[in-house]
Structure 1
């Protein structure tokens, strides 16, 4: 591989490649897992990576006294098993932007559960974009199960594939500038961290929730490289660094996928395109002014918002997040939500919530969720989960 052109490979979207990838639709694969078991350490590391201090996920003494009887993992811990982001196969040298997930959660993830996952590509859609012209959206489905072959969750995920050259030439985000925070702005952010409320052992009963109720906002950031590395360590591992390891493993992966890697223009050394998440210069190669977060990182923040709000006795059943704008280094993200409706279905007391995230440039992601809450009249039993 010596003597290769420097920088990222500039792949092209072609009719032939679209057809080739579509031939893979429906094929089942078992992707490699970062965390094969939901150990106490693995759960804690994931929580560290998203800034989640909920004792239900961290403190065995506390968790033993809850209705679950032990530590459980936050729902989005499943990203640490396998980062489902659209079954991104094919299109060598074409950049990928994880753009959302639609989760259904079926049962809790208990400490020491061993988790398997199967994934398949479900669709390949061609569209036009003002940001990159011709783009492809790849949709994948992943199903996660425990050691008893019980389904834990299913997700539909999607990733946008865009040509790096087209992104860079269009400069859609050229007006996005790094925000300089005033002392007053930083004080507001710091106070929001101190004021986070974990509902915890105080049940949030369905009868006490009303349509239009607002969730207490949660802030993440201002995003820095430490935040990114913390998330990588807790949730992604080899999926972020060399697709499975460093040194020899990095070389072998690049040898198998020659259009994947990146030759650093300053050193001539093989590196990875994922550095777009930590270094501005790499992000600028795909037309962005600064490095940006991982899509699954932002989805996990919404999970954090919801589990803080709903309390120990509740269960997150659905979480849909669409990532429509980039969250770049220096951005502070305010996560917000509102109760859209409440109803009883099949004996469960449910609330639907609208979700959104804002920074100083405005909304950059939106979503919705469904939470099963305890009822003052019927309670909420683990065995009611299906």
Structure 2
């Protein structure tokens, strides 16, 4: 790449699906991917956990207060289950010139992350569905990355199946007008005051156990409110270590990477700076190039909020076993999202765990469920009386 290339940095790539591209990607199925450029944290230090918890707006003292955590079930600080994303959010693979949205998340959790743990991530490309036509953005495919997180004792901490939609950016841009909504959202002062009061009223269940026997089908989770989403919310998430594919960088470090991979960046017409594709989450111009209206949240950021709502409800003695979520709509800057759910089942599962099955939701101010999902949590049981 030379400085005489007049197309360098002018726009995001606008590639097309081709038979050769599909053949090349099929040949990659089963490949373990390099992760060096995407790792943000190797160790779950106290400050790394604190920074991440603050970056998702979760002040549960089990993650943040050494004295409180010492008296808890782990006898030390542990990380929110979603801390895996602060170690490695995801990896970019193939699909030259195409756009992408995170579409779906499936995670199973197998061990807690304790302060001081070293977390190693491994990632494989597991394949993709055949291209289909969609009204949302024309021809698209759905691909799958399998990400595993291991601690220093060789224990599997979590397995994350990351699914993304890949599409032709030109088609998404053409159809952006059909998805137009009023942005920023026209909040009134009274509405904003009510949102803030709801947020300030939230308090995690904490040390008071929620027993499996006491939960009934139809019980509702507490509601966790996020928003109105602002630029600092996105910056805090990036600063927490959860910016994926690849790490963000500045000045000469960034420029050398962009020269090596020219379509990783575009030139912002307002600042004349080169910006990474990831800036769709804080840069309106980049978001519009991607076919969105303005800057929008990160998919796994929304899953972090979902997990926050679960740990808030289950208390210190419970644990999250599995989550699933589908990203059905963008969460734009200025949106408010209320996360909750309802109990749909309970059992003693094959592992002997007393589990609660939940349907989860994330409702925005337009009454859209922008992340329908499911979850399984483990709760303590009351001691059996003789």
TM range (shorter): over 0.9
Q: 1:69 aligns with which of 63, 72, 75?
A: 75
In the superposition, the TM-score normalised over structure 1's length comes to 0.93
- Call closer, same or farther: CA 1:181–1:266 in 2, change over 3 Å: closer
Q: How does 1:232-311 map to 2 (within 5 A)?
A: 232-237=238-243, 239=244, 243-266=247-270, 268-311=272-315
Q: 1:376 aligns with which of 375, 379, 382?
A: 382
Matches of 2:249 and 2:152, distance apart in 1: 26
Question: Secondary structure of the equivalent of 2:83?
Answer: helix
Task: Specify every segment of 5 or more residues in structure 2 that has no aligned partner in the other structure, as ranges.
Answer: none
Residue aligning to 2:14: 10
Q: How does 1:211-250 map to 2 (within 5 A)?
A: 211-237=217-243, 239=244, 243-250=247-254
Q: Does the aligned pair in 2 maintain the 1:290–1:329 contact within 8 Å? A: yes
- When the two structures are aligned, how many residues end up with a matched partner? 375
How far 1:82 sits from its partner (Å)? Answer: 0.7
The answer as to 2:334 corresponding to 1:315 is no
The answer as to 2:49 corresponding to 1:34 is no
Cα distance per residue 1:296-330 (max 9 Å; x no partner): 10000001101111000111100111111100011
Matches of 2:249 and 2:185, distance apart in 1: 34
Matches of 2:267 and 2:247, distance apart in 1: 16
The answer as to 2:138 corresponding to 1:124 is no
Q: Does the aligned pair in 2 maintain the 1:115–1:146 contact within 8 Å? A: yes
- Call closer, same or farther: CA 1:306–1:96 in 2, change over 3 Å: same
Q: 2:159 aligns with which of 122, 141, 154?
A: 154
In the superposition, the TM-score normalised over structure 2's length comes to 0.93
Question: Secondary structure of the equivalent of 2:114?
Answer: coil
Matches of 2:228 and 2:48, distance apart in 1: 25
How far 1:176 sits from its partner (Å)? Answer: 4.8
Question: What's the RMSD between the two structures over aligned residues?
Answer: 1.7
How far 1:12 sits from its partner (Å)? Answer: 1.9
Q: 1:347 aligns with which of 337, 348, 352?
A: 352
Q: Does the aligned pair in 2 maintain the 1:176–1:289 contact within 8 Å? A: no
Task: Specify every segment of 5 or more residues in structure 1 that has no aligned partner in the other structure, as ranges.
Answer: 380-386
How far 1:19 sits from its partner (Å)? Answer: 1.3
Matches of 2:81 and 2:384, distance apart in 1: 24
How far 1:91 sits from its partner (Å)? Answer: 1.6
Cα distance per residue 1:341-383 (max 9 Å; x no partner): 111124211100110111122211111110010000269xxxx
Residue aligning to 2:372: 366
